[in-house]
A and B are shown apart, each in its own frame.
Chain A
Amino acid sequence: MTTRISVKNAETGSSVEMELEAENTVEEIIESAASYWEVSPGAYVLRRGKAVLRGQSTIVEAKIREGDVVELIPDPEGG
């Protein structure tokens, strides 16, 4: 059974619909979105509302549900 969510790219305002399986992890969501938008996956965090979704959590552990909207947020470093 798959779960369909929306992933918003905060840097462009675009969003994708993504199909997930229960074993998929947050890290894989970030990697898939980053690959689709051709950006570096290590440079982002994923948020749902006010919560950071942690990389190794599965979508079950992260309580990601059908229809959820998550957002890819840049995590810059300056020097």
Chain B
Amino acid sequence: MKRPRVVSERKRAILERSPPPSNRSRPHFWLKDESRREIEEALAGTGPLPLYISKTAEAEMRNHSVSSGNQNLEAMGLLLGDVFAHSKKSYTVVKNVVTTDLQASGVSVSFHRNGFETLFDRLDEADFDYVIVGWYHSHPGYTCFMSPKDIETQRRMFREDFHFAVVLDPLKLQIEAFTLYGEGCISVPFAVYWEEHEDPYGRKKLSLKPR
């Protein structure tokens, strides 16, 4: 019996596109002051950061990790987005996240074996041609780092330069993004961005027109 045979491949092109502008991007508010300053400086520079996360995706990850953390459980999901290039550098944009029922404890997490149909429903609800650009999970109360199991997951599934792992600690209010580097992972700077029509930090002035 013959094994399945790959006869052709169609690669996805990386489009040239400007990253989210600095007036609609900011460091995450769970970051320490030093990290926030570094990201603010990088946002004021010319090149893109390696990773941009939409305010919507950030809020969903954070809320998921907080609600699970209140039960001393880890949270987890997939990062949906795309990869772009600008100034000869590639960068990743996370537009949304998806998750489903989990098999979780305070120190481990995976998708529940009966949860895939819900996960696929949510993938189908994405209103864009997504790439799964990484995953997020939480460490309730034991800080942000990549454990040996996390690094193994990153090696097995998320080994491209544009793949990232976001780790949140909802009890210590910490967040960090990682990518593979050598035998392990390194922390990478990222920004939270929002669309022009959004105003997540209430910065737009109210326009009160006289009647």
Contacts and interface: CB of A to CB of B under 8 A. Distances in A.
Contact of B135 (A13, A19, A23, A74): A74
Given A39-B157, A79-B150, A17 B6 contact: yes
Contacts of A39: 156-157, 159
A40 B129 contact: no
B7 A17 contact: yes
Interface residues of A, number: 39
B90 to A, nearest CB: 13
B158 interface: yes
A66 B14 CA distance: 29
A57 interface: no
Contact of A79 (B7, B10, B108, B159): B108
Interface string A11-55: 111111111110110001101110010011011110101111000
Specify which of A36, A44, A77 lies most central, judged by the most chain B CB atoms within 10 Å of its CB.
A77
A45 B76 contact: no
A52 to B, nearest CB: 5
Specify which of B6, B74, B108, B133 lies most central, judged by the most chain A CB atoms within 10 Å of its CB.
B6
Interface residues of B, number: 47
Contact of A16 (B6, B74, B109, B135): B6
A78 B110 contact: yes
B81 to A, nearest CB: 11
A18 B5 contact: yes
A47 B1 contact: no
Contacts of A47: 116, 120
Give 6 closest A-B pairs by Cβ, nearest first.
A13-B12, A78-B137, A79-B149, A40-B156, A32-B4, A74-B157
Interface of A: 4, 10-21, 23-24, 28-29, 31-33, 36, 39-40, 42-45, 47, 49-52, 73-79
Given A21-B4, A79-B107, 8 more contacts: A10-B130, A16-B7, A17-B6, A31-B3, A33-B6, A40-B156, A50-B120, A76-B110
